[in-house]
Chains A and B, each alone.
Chain A
Amino acid sequence: MTDLIQIKGVTHAYRTPNGPLPVLDDLNINVPEGEFAAVVGPSGCGKSTLTRLVAGLMKPDSGEVWLHGKRVTSPRKTVGMAFQNPVMLEWRTILQNVILPLEIVAPSMPRKDRVARAEELLALVGLSGFEDKRPSELSGGMRQRASLCRAIVHKPDVLIMDEPFGALDAFTREDLWQTMHELRAKEPFTAVLITHDLRESVYLGDQVFVLSGRPATTQYVMNVDYPGEGLRKLDGLYTPEAAQMLATLREQIQIAQGRQPGPEVH
Chain B
Amino acid sequence: MERFQKVAVPIAAILIFVALWEALVWVNGWPDYVMASPSDLPAAYSRFWELFLTGSWQTLWRTVAGLTLAVVAGTGLGMIMGFSRIARDGLYPLLVGFNAVPKATLVPVLALLFIGQHDFNTVMMAFLISFFPIAVSVGIGLSTLEPEYRDILRSLGASKVTIFRKIALPKTLPEFFGALKVSVTLAFIGTNLVEIISPHGRGLGALFLSGQTNSNYPLMFAVLIALAVLGIILYYAVVALEKIFAGWAERPGG
Interface residue tally on A, bucketed by range: 20 to 34
* Contact (Cβ within 8 A) B148 A87: yes
* Contact (Cβ within 8 A) B248 A55: no
A33 shortest CB reach to chain B, Å: 20
CA–CA, A52 to B173, complex, Å? 28
A253 shortest CB reach to chain B, Å: 26
State the interface size on chain B (CB cutoff 8 A): 22
Query: Does B182 reach chain A (CB closer than 8 Å)?
Result: no
- Which of B151, B166, B170, B173 interacts with A81 by CB under 8 Å? B151
Stretch at the interface among A98-106, A170-178, A232-240: A98-106
Residues of A with C-beta under 8 A to B173: 91
A137 shortest CB reach to chain B, Å: 8
Residues of B with C-beta under 8 A to A87: 146, 148-149, 152
B241 shortest CB reach to chain A, Å: 15
Report which residue of B149, B152, B167, B248 has the largest number of chain A beta carbons within 10 angstroms of its beta carbon: B152
Chain A 182-216 interface mask (CB, 8 Å, partner B; 1/0): 00000000000000000000000000000000000
Residues of B with C-beta under 8 A to A100: 152-153, 166
Residues of B with C-beta under 8 A to A85: 146, 148
Which residue of B has the minimal Cβ distance to A85? B148
* Contact (Cβ within 8 A) A76 B251: no
CB contact under 8 A between A90 and B248, given known A85-B146, A100-B166, A103-B166: yes
Query: Does B11 reach chain A (CB closer than 8 Å)?
Result: no
Residues of A with C-beta under 8 A to B157: 74-77, 104-105
A110 shortest CB reach to chain B, Å: 19
Residues of B with C-beta under 8 A to A55: 151, 155
Chain A 100-130 interface mask (CB, 8 Å, partner B; 1/0): 1101110000000000000000000000000
Query: Does A138 reach chain B (CB closer than 8 Å)?
Result: no
CA–CA, A76 to B248, complex, Å? 31
Within 8 A of B (CB), among A46-72: 52, 55-57
* Contact (Cβ within 8 A) B155 A91: no
B167 shortest CB reach to chain A, Å: 7
Residues of A with C-beta under 8 A to B155: 55-57, 75, 79-81, 160
- Which of A52, A74, A104, A160 interacts with B153 by CB under 8 Å? A104
Which residue of B has the minimal Cβ distance to A162? B148
Query: Does B53 reach chain A (CB closer than 8 Å)?
Result: no
* Contact (Cβ within 8 A) A57 B151: yes
- Which of A56, A76, A91, A154 interacts with B171 by CB under 8 Å? A91
CA–CA, A7 to B152, complex, Å? 22
Q: Offer 20 A-B interface pairs, CB within 8 angstroms, sorted by A.
A: A55-B151, A56-B155, A74-B157, A75-B156, A76-B157, A77-B157, A81-B151, A85-B148, A87-B148, A87-B152, A89-B171, A90-B248, A100-B153, A100-B166, A101-B152, A101-B156, A104-B157, A134-B248, A136-B251, A154-B156
By Cβ-Cβ distance, the 9 closest A-B pairs, closest first, are A91-B248, A55-B155, A104-B156, A87-B148, A75-B157, A104-B158, A91-B170, A83-B148, A75-B155
